[in-house]
Structure formats: C-alpha cells, structure tokens
Structure 1
Amino acid sequence: MGKNISVDLALANELFSEKDIEDFNPFLIHSQKNIIERSGTGNEFLGWVDLPYIMLNDKKLFQELEELKNEIQKNNTDVIVMIGIGGSYMGARVIIEAMQYYLPYKLLPIIYLGHHLESAYIERQLKLLENKNYYTIVISKSGTTTEPAIAFRLVREQMKKKYGDAYSQRVITITDQKKGALRKLTNQEGYRSFIVPDDVGGRYSVLSPVGLVPLYLVGIDIRELLTGAYDESKLVKIDCWQDNSAFQYVTMRHLAYQKGKPIELFTSFYPCLFYVAEWWKQLFGESEGKNNLGILPTSAMFTTDLHSLGQYIQEGLRIFFETIISIDNPFNTLTIPSSKDVDDGMEFLAGKQISEINKIAEKATAIAHSDGGVPVIKISIPHISTYYLGALLYFFEYSCALSGYCFQINPFDQPGVEAYKNNMYALLGKPGYEELARKLKKRIEKI
C-alpha cells in the first residue's frame, strides 16, 4: 500500500540529525504502544482508533441514513440546520467546506448555529429559515453546552410555530445513548437520534455519527471518507520511522519544541482547507495544552496572509516552525489570458494556469521562510477528495494522540476549559455558583 499522506522534511534540516531521530524513536514506540494496546492515560477515550473499520461495517447505520436522506429529499428540504460547537460540528464542516467546489453535484445547503453567541448572526440565520423548508440536526453529548443549547431553544421555538406538533419529525439528535438533557428531551419528544460513542471525545469524533450523519444527509460519500481513514489507520501503525508519516511529523514537532520553537504555524495555499486548519487547532490545542506544556497551534492562509503576516514570518522572532499542507495535483481549469493593452506587468504570465502559479508561490514561500530561519514541514495529499480528506483527518488524529503521549500528558481530556465556563455561569446567575459570582463581581468592580 502506498502512502496517502507524505511528509517532506527537506526544508526542516536544521531541526534534526540522524542521532536526534534515533534518540526520539523510543518515545514514539512507547506512545504507539499506549495507543494500540490502550495502555496510556485517557485510554477510555481511544474508541476513535477503530472507528473507520467499525463505521464502514455498520449496516444498520447506513440503512437508517439512507431512509432518512430519502425522506428529506421527498419533503423538498431546502436546507439542513446543524447545531453544535467545537468537535461536535467542526469535523463535518471541514469536509463540507473542502468538497463543495470539487463535487460534480451540489450539496444540500447547510446553516450552522450554536458555535458562538453573536446575536446578530443568529437572528439573521433564523430570519433566513422563516421561508425555508428544513430539518435540524442537534449535536451535543450532554445537551447542556451553552451555545448549542441556546441555539436549539431558538430553533425549536421557530420550528414549533412553523410545523406544529410535526416539528419533532424534523429534529435529529446526536447525543448520549442513556443520559443527559438532550437524551431526555429526545425520548420525550420522539426525535430521531444517533449515538455519540462513550469512548470518543468530541474533537476525535468526526468519523463517528457526530460527523457522518450530517455529512451523509447533505450528500457526502461517507464510505469514501471512511475508506480513506481506514487505509491511513493501517499506515500510521507501521513501526518503521521512514515508512510512517505520523512518526516523521510528530518527531519534527517535538524536536522543534525542544529547540525553542513552541509555536506551530499551519499554512496552506488552498482556501478549501481553511476549516481543516480550524479543526486542527482545536485538536492539538485541547489535546496538548496542559501541565504548562504543548505546542501552540496557529494558522494562516496563503497567499492572502502573506500580505499581512508575511513580514513577521520572514523576519520576526524565530520561535515557531511552519507546517504547509499541500495538494500534489490541484484543480486545473483557469488559464491567464493575454492582455497586451493592460500595463500591469503580468503579460509574462499569459498562458499559464492559475494553479501552476499558486504552486510556484507555495514553493517560493517555503524556501524564503526556511532561508529566514523558519523550519518548514510539508505535508501533502495527492488531490482533494473525500478519500484523501478522510486519510488526512485520521493522520492528524493519530499524530495528535501520539504527540500527546510523547509529552507524557493525557491527550483526551480538557480540564482547562472549565475555568471560563464556571466564571460565565456564575456571572449569569446559574444556581450553585453564588459564592463564585460574589468573588468575581468584586474583582470586576476594580477593573
């Protein structure tokens, strides 16, 4: 089996020597063992490791999804409303946003709610839905996460007015199998529902019903997605460093960290991968950022951000390394026309494809950044497809778990996110938070 994901380290030579790789290899092997044997901390959340195989063979899931999709089409549905935040919605959005311009057919339109609290945006989306025929997918393991819970209250109220008691047949929940506020409401109202696996955390859940249900219903081929992930799941378990792209990527990240570069800049010259970067930031940020450890994940989209961050990347503090996500065979259709009557200095580009120019810009930028003291790791996929996106997502999930274990932390919890939530609940007057509210209000008075 050939590689789905290739890692090019030609512009990261300053990060490592053969001895560095040799010295780090025992950490990789031990971390690999933690994942495969489920012996590391947080092992109760390693269910994502086998998801591609499990989901590909879940005939009941595919049958239910096909029946639901047929119903949605029969009812002349205009749009799907997807309510969720973080890993509960981001994984599906990655695939939808990346694939929408590459498919020979149109996906069912989707409106995202519950991923922030900006009232003008929410109000506008609700207004758009007034004259639309729609179904709503609500994704929340507990049903008590603030942003999606508020969004669902608003959408549910609107759906009741629009559809009456029949609204419940247009709500699909993806939640805990037995417990939680959303499970209780699902049982009470008779919503169709799918299960969030107990052993899969939100940011690792894209290949579970959390991501697969909305993807299938809008028109994505999830079998191709899962097949790409399944094939990659075999490649990342190879013990040989030279043959394992995840080993290579994780090694370079840690060697960069050890050499005073604690920031990783994720870049791409393909805007269709914008949400891959957003998903990647949550994946690595929540997994590694604890115990005062971890690499800070940041991102930029080129060539756009070269006109804003390019100067800093080239000559600013040398405290980061760059990971470029590249596409070997990008979409090729547009050719630059000849316009000799236009004095823009671009006539020398006439006849060239825009994709060719973009690829040259990528190579030129990578060399410039490397020459400026920024090590560059290049990660490539052959082309944009659901298959290779599935492989890429699994590659990053596995790399993240591997990297977290190399930091000797639990890659599957996120205790730090409770601090801001507790403060917010206290200041909003949630019962049980009265003492914290009193302390916070005293501090606010001094600001």
Structure 2
Amino acid sequence: MVSLDTQHAQSFLDDGALADLKPQIEEAHEAVLNKTGKGSHMLGWRDLLLDPDDALLQDIEATAHRLRRDADVLLCLGIGGSYLGARAVISALTPYLSARQPDPPSPDTPEGQSMHPSQPPEVRFAGHHTSGAYLRELLSDLDGKSVFVNVISKSGTTLETALSFRVVRAWMHDQFDAPSDRIIITTDKEQGALNALHEANDFYKKYVIPDDVGGRFSVLTPVGLLPIAAAGIDIHSFFYGAVSACEEISADAEHDALRYAALRYLLLNDDYDVEALAVFEPKLRNIGRWWQQLFGESEGKEHTGLFPTVAQYTTDLHSIGQYMQQGQRNLMETFLMPKKDPASLSIPETEDDVDGLNYVAGKTMGDVTRAAYDGTAQAHANGGVPNVTIWFDALAPQPIGELLYFFEHAVAVSGYLLDVNPFNQPGVEDYKSEMYDRLDR
C-alpha cells in the first residue's frame, strides 16, 4: 500500500486550506473516473486496469521466455514514455551489477544463440538521444552477442528512435542470417512507418500501443511490460499491483493520491513552483526520471505547474544540499521511501576504532539511511522547505505497480485542478517542428 506523510508540510499551509479545496479535489477525481475532463479520450491507461487482458500478459510472457532463452541482450529503442517506464522498473527490481555469468563454453552452441540461455538477457536502451558516439560504441560492444531488438514508437517516425532503428537494422543485417526474426515492434495498431516496415520484412513479433494511452502512461502496456518481463520480473504481480491501486483509489475520495495532488496545488499557489523528488535508494533514481516526465509533460502548460526535478540523496546532499537548505524558498520536496530495507547490511565493530565509527557498529546501512532521511526531512522543513514522504511497501513487483498507478492518478487529478489537459504535450511538438525545419524535412 502507498501512503503519504505530510507532517513536514502542514505548517506551510493556511488553516483549513485542504478542507476548503475538497470540493475541487472531488470534482477532479470524478472527472477522471467518469471521463468528463479535458483529454478524457486518453484515459485508456485506467481502462486496461479495470478490464485486465490476461491473454495479453500470457502472450508477453511467452515472448519474454524466448528472449530469456535465446538473447544475451534485448536492445530497446524508444524515447520518453517509450523507455522511461521500463528502465525505471528494471532498475528498481534487478541487481545493481549484472548477475549474468557466462556458462562454460560449449562447441554445440550455434552461432548467434545465447551462451547462457538460463539467465534473463541484459536490457539496454537506445533511441532516446542523438549521440552517434553512444550508438557506435553500443553496437561495437554488442558484437558477437545474441541480440534482439524491440523498437517502440506509435508513429514510427519519432526522429531519435527512427534514426537509431535505421542504424541498428543495418547492423543486424550484417550480424545475423535472419535479422527480422530478432526484431519486435511495439506501435500503432494499423498506422505508421513501423507497420509498413513490418509488412515488408515480416518481423518476429508486433505489439500494439492502444490509441487511448499516451506514452508517459504506457508502462502497463506492452511498451513497458515486454522489456520488464524479459528482464525476469513478474509482470503479473506488477500489473495487478497497479490494478489493486486503481480499485483502491477509485473507491476512496479521500485517498492519499488525491491529498498529494491537493497539497502540491496549494503549495504552487503559495509560490512553491519547484518540486524535487528525493530518493535515498539509488535503485529508485530512474523511478524519479519516469516521474519527472509524467508530471512535467502532464502539468507544464499554459504557464503553470510545478517544475519537477530529481535528487539522489545522500549523494546530492553533498552538492545541492546547501541550496536545498538555504537557497531560494520556492521549492517543495517529495521523499520516496520503501518501508522495507532492500538489503540489510550490518556495520562491523573494529578493535582499534581509528575511524571513530564504533558508535554505529551493529546497526545496518538501512538504519543509517533512515537516520539520514529523518534528519534531512526535519532540517529542510526547519529551513523553509515543505516536504512530504510517499511510502511504499518494498522494492518488489506488486508495490512498484501500486506506486506507479498512484502517481498516474495523482497527476491526472492535479492536471484538472490546474485546468489543463494532463494528457497532451503540445509544447513537445514545437521543438520537433523547429528541428525538422533545420533538417530540411
């Protein structure tokens, strides 16, 4: 279960402010539930949880099984919501350091097949920027490995992704006898360049991005589920964690997801216009990057919305910590904390105690993290930074699914509070237009 702790924010609000806002919160919540708000035709990310497609989950698992059997690397090509969700979940739920250990060499392993088929493939990402140096080095590093590609784009013409796919397809043709049998597309049901390429090349597999689901809300569609499943993560538990959160929030007009949206709205109206999502567990950093897109692209319209940024503590307390404590007082902080320590590691005692740290001997690194969090939240509040904490149960598939839906529902309600369409991104199209003009499209 996801919960919100507001003890370090209440004093920054006027008495009765949350109560006074309650009718607007309920109206925004009902607009999400009943599809009566702006952009309501793009609420498919809720519909897929209200009516789960278990056959699709099984199909994705079957494809992931082949990838785990035959691939050393799954290379995912996509930008924005086409990669941030999958990367966030995989980072949160897989080891920091690769657990893949080469099996003993076998003369019977056919060329182009995985050398260690019992392990999930390494999932890598490209197509989310325009660095030729990165792509060149990536392909050089993939030489000799069994590589499958999942290209993710609804239109198939998003420049960063399409260019990368063009380069990668040429490389695949040089590397493998049947490259098309190693390519999976995730795209529009009928339209777009990827469908035309699929017709011409008969790629191994195609998955559909629903018309009514935008990219930043697509992690619970094949966009996110296939890479996540290939990485060896239980997508059934992950998906149904989101289903559980959807049902819970839908039935509770005072849910913490709505309180989070309300508190952010009130602080924005009081000129707190920057929100830093702070994580202490590095595995959560990419959840922050996903959150940054979700909130930035959903709220940042018509000259309103909190500017979202991500901080990695305690690391960043030694860089921007001074600013957080005593800089401009225009920011709020949201701490994202698992209730359960991901891995308990005890601190040993030493006989000489030269470093003077025996006072923490016997404690765990998790105890130190908790002390750092408690101290930071209190110090920043004392310094004039309102902060809240979002707690979730553990770094496990079901709680992560619950957490992602919590944020999705909160940002939809928040967008309606701001009177913007939380499901479009017209400003993103502006940079594309200017870029295409300079490329003589």
TM-score higher than 0.5: yes
- Contact persistence 2:123–2:227 (CA under 8 A): no
Among candidates 288, 292, 303, match of residue 299 of structure 2: 288
Partner of 2:20 in structure 1? 23
1:202 and 1:73 mapped to 2: Cα distance?
26
Q: Does residue 419 of structure 2 align to residue 425 of structure 1?
A: no
Q: Does residue 240 of structure 2 align to residue 227 of structure 1?
A: yes
Check 1:66–1:236 CA distance in 2 against 1; reply closer, same or farther (3 A cut): closer
- Contact persistence 2:272–2:329 (CA under 8 A): yes
- Contact persistence 1:107–1:220 (CA under 8 A): no
1:120 and 1:221 mapped to 2: Cα distance?
34
Pairwise CA distance, 1:342:
5.1
Equivalent residue letter for 1:43: S
Pairwise CA distance, 1:18:
5.2
Q: Does residue 386 of structure 2 align to residue 375 of structure 1?
A: yes
TM-score (norm 1): 0.91
Q: Does residue 76 of structure 2 align to residue 65 of structure 1?
A: no
- Contact persistence 2:57–2:236 (CA under 8 A): no
Among candidates 213, 221, 234, match of residue 208 of structure 1: 221
Equivalent residue letter for 1:387: Q
- Contact persistence 1:332–1:353 (CA under 8 A): no
- Contact persistence 2:2–2:403 (CA under 8 A): yes
- Contact persistence 2:3–2:391 (CA under 8 A): yes
Pairwise CA distance, 1:356:
0.7
Within 5 Å, which residues of 2 pair with 1:34-49? 34-49=31-46
- 141-150 or 18-27, which moves further after superposition? 18-27
Within 5 Å, which residues of 2 pair with 1:108-123? 108-123=121-136
2:62 and 2:238 mapped to 1: Cα distance?
20
- The secondary structure found in structure 2 opposite 1:267 is strand
- Contact persistence 2:61–2:226 (CA under 8 A): no
Q: Does residue 49 of structure 2 align to residue 52 of structure 1?
A: yes
Q: Percent identity?
A: 39
Q: How many residues align?
A: 421
- The secondary structure found in structure 2 opposite 1:420 is helix
- The secondary structure found in structure 2 opposite 1:326 is strand
Pairwise CA distance, 1:151:
0.8
Partner of 1:154 in structure 2? 167
CA RMSD of aligned residues (A): 1.7
Pairwise CA distance, 1:224:
0.4
Q: Does residue 323 of structure 2 align to residue 312 of structure 1?
A: yes
1:263 and 1:198 mapped to 2: Cα distance?
32
Bigger helix fraction:
1
Q: Does residue 342 of structure 2 align to residue 331 of structure 1?
A: yes
Pairwise CA distance, 1:104:
9.8
Describe the superposition over 1:359-405 as per-residue Cα deviations: whole angstroms up to 9, x where unpaired. Answer: 11100110000111111111101211110000000000000000000
Among candidates 356, 362, 366, match of residue 345 of structure 1: 356
Describe the superposition over 1:253-273 as per-residue Cα deviations: whole angstroms up to 9, x where unpaired. Answer: 011111110111110111110
Partner of 1:169 in structure 2? 181
Pairwise CA distance, 1:64:
2.5
Partner of 1:435 in structure 2? none
- The secondary structure found in structure 1 opposite 2:409 is helix
1:323 and 1:62 mapped to 2: Cα distance?
33
Partner of 2:86 in structure 1? 92
Describe the superposition over 1:217-260 as per-residue Cα deviations: whole angstroms up to 9, x where unpaired. Answer: 2211110001110110012223442xx01111011101111111
Among candidates 367, 383, 401, match of residue 390 of structure 1: 401
Partner of 1:195 in structure 2? 208
Check 1:254–1:171 CA distance in 2 against 1; reply closer, same or farther (3 A cut): same
Among candidates 415, 422, 425, match of residue 414 of structure 1: 425
1:409 and 1:67 mapped to 2: Cα distance?
40
2:356 and 2:5 mapped to 1: Cα distance?
34
Q: Does residue 3 of structure 2 align to residue 6 of structure 1?
A: yes
Check 1:163–1:49 CA distance in 2 against 1; reply closer, same or farther (3 A cut): same
Residue ranges of structure 1 left out of the alignment (5+ in a row) = 431-447
Equivalent residue letter for 2:325: Q
Pairwise CA distance, 1:291:
0.5
Partner of 1:144 in structure 2? 157
- The secondary structure found in structure 1 opposite 2:145 is coil
Equivalent residue letter for 1:266: L
Pairwise CA distance, 1:340:
3.7
Pairwise CA distance, 1:26:
1.2
- Contact persistence 2:68–2:121 (CA under 8 A): no
Equivalent residue letter for 2:80: G
1:307 and 1:282 mapped to 2: Cα distance?
25
1:424 and 1:329 mapped to 2: Cα distance?
46
